[in-house]
Amino acid sequence: MLKKATRDAYGETLVELGHLYDNVIVLDADLSKSTKTELFAKEFPERFFQMGIAEQDMLATAAGLALCDKVCFVSTFAIFAAGRAFEQIRNSIAYPKLNVKICATHAGVTVGEDGGSHQAIEDIALMRAIPNMTVIVPADAIETAKALHAIYKHEGPVYFRLGRPAVPFIYNDDFEFKIGKANKLREGTDAAIIATGIMVACAIDAAKILADKGLNVQVWDMATIKPLDLEAIKEAAKTGAIVTAEEHSVIGGLGSAVAEASAEYAPAFMSFVGLKDCFGQSGTPEELLEAYNLTADNIAKTVLEVVDKKSSS
């Protein structure tokens, strides 16, 4: 199975954008080798700013550049972008609705051996709560590239969540990405799995496991968590059973967003696959996904439980 890290696709696509648009500026906080912005730095050194370990300063500088009609792509690890520089993002970027794209890599527990202190599992919750902020979590390398072209054209701030390890390809080169539009990857009438980021591939595998048990399950890639695709949630809710899956806390992330929308517009039985109000720990990505039940098997098990609730109601 072919795999590629979304952070690798990010670095490569930044170079494409640099060639297409001379107002693209890239800033990094002393992590350009890991975030892959080093590719842009080599190609366009005059448009790359290495800001050092000073994330608040980096985000505030990006705000100033955006006021000068630049489109700024700002990168560091998710734990530092969403956490350490929250105030600058909120007050200097989102409040005036500036054209800064916060492209945070190394999100979730798949950061691995760096441990819980470096594993951002609350960043989606933080970013989606900020007014004017768009939140996007691509599922694979192709969606990453397509989404980057879309967010360049989007007016206003974006939080773009990227991962460390290689992940399977889901899409083909002819895929079209639209901000705010979920993609249905599999039809089904018995239940729906709504996933984001690396959990999309697991959701597809879970649907295959369930098919062997006689269940027909929809699979949705909800790459845009804000603004949420309400029509997709309404369609998923028609099955009567929804399971969300994310490499993030179940508090405040994709699951919370879908539950809020479902409660208001399209009620259904629901359950959530994600971290259950806990920090991460050190380990390999594979070990941690297993430890926190972020697997196809657990998604399938959770779907069966929700379908049982639906049938018993």
pLDDT digits (tens, 9 = 90+) for 279-293: 999 999 999 999 999
The residue ranges of the chain whose pLDDT is under 50 are none
Q: Name the CATH architecture for the domain at 3-168.
A: 3-Layer(aba) Sandwich (3.40)
> What per-residue confidence (pLDDT) applies to 205?
98
pLDDT per residue as tens digits for the range 187-204 = 999 999 999 999 999 999
> What per-residue confidence (pLDDT) applies to 8?
97
> What per-residue confidence (pLDDT) applies to 313?
82
Q: What are the structural domain ranges in the chain?
A: 3-168, 183-312
> What per-residue confidence (pLDDT) applies to 256?
98
> What per-residue confidence (pLDDT) applies to 1?
77
For domain 183-312, say whether CATH 3.40.50.920 is its number. yes
> What per-residue confidence (pLDDT) applies to 12?
98
Catalytic residue numbers, as ranges: 55
State pTM to two decimals: 0.97
> What per-residue confidence (pLDDT) applies to 215?
97
CA-based end-to-end distance of the chain: 41
> What per-residue confidence (pLDDT) applies to 129?
98
> What per-residue confidence (pLDDT) applies to 66?
98
